[in-house]
Chains A and B, each alone.
Chain A
Amino acid sequence: MTAEAVPLDATLRALADGNRRAILEVVRDSRRAVGEIAAEVAMSQQAVSHHLRVLDGAGLVTETRDGTRHLFMVRVDGLDVVRQFVEGFWPERLAALKSAAEKEARDRA
């Protein structure tokens, strides 16, 4: 999943949950297994797995495998939501401005 593919809304929704922010703090420095994360945040593995799926869908964590273990770590690029927002926002809007101004210029000609 690329950073550009995740809309701002998805990232903000994923972050608008205290449990998920707590999980992100646990995985910010090193790769951790679900069980380790669950122990640190005092939640069930099932709940942690659910939250990790949401975070993964928003591009906020990456998952790797170590043998049979699934390890998770924060994906810093996913946090760059403001850059994503303006980089998508302005080019699209300016293309619309170009169309509007060129149409008016043609109409006046």
Chain B
Amino acid sequence: MPEFATSIDIEAPPEIVFAHLVTPEGMLAWIGQHAELDATPGGVFAVDIDGNPIRGEYLEVDPPHAVVISWGVLGSELIPAGSSRVEFRLTPIAAGTRLDLNHTGLPDVEQPKHAEGWTYFLTRLADAATSTR
């Protein structure tokens, strides 16, 4: 499962949805309890979500069409800061905006084929468990 995709229709124009992806006020209205954002390519993306320090950077900022960030958990061996990629694509529709989300670059947790892979995977999971709390 290296990828997760979903979409949702929002009855608001793309400009409003876009603002919720690039400003701390907009971000905190739907995700996290603390946000430090610099919505320029290479700028910091830092949001604390239920005690998980999500860290990465903005990779692409195209108002009001797209926001791409790198995404990970600070201190996590499983999903290190900036290790995966989250794309938000905004498309105008009659009702407002269709938001397509694509989360890629996630660790592949398919059953490892070899004993070494299995042990490595379990150890990484355990590290993630102990380092994120």
Binding site for B on A (CB under 8 A): 11-13, 15-18, 21, 24-25, 28, 76, 79-83, 86-87, 90-91, 93-102, 104-105, 108
Contacts and interface: CB of A to CB of B under 8 A. Distances in A.
Contacts of A97: 8, 10, 17, 20, 29-31, 99
B87 to A, nearest CB: 12
Contacts of B123: 21
Contacts of A11: 125
Interface of B: 1, 4, 6, 8-13, 16-17, 20, 26, 29-31, 78-79, 96-97, 99, 101, 103, 106-107, 109, 111, 115, 118-119, 121-123, 125-126, 128-130, 132
A15 B129 contact: yes
Contacts of B8: 91, 94-95, 97-98
A24 B122 contact: yes
B126 A16 contact: yes
B6 A91 contact: yes
A94 B99 contact: yes
Given A82-B107, A101-B17, A94 B101 contact: yes
B53 to A, nearest CB: 15
Contacts of A108: 16
Q: Sorted from nearest, which 7 A-B pairs have the closest CB atoms?
A: A12-B129, A105-B12, A100-B29, A16-B129, A101-B12, A97-B30, A96-B30
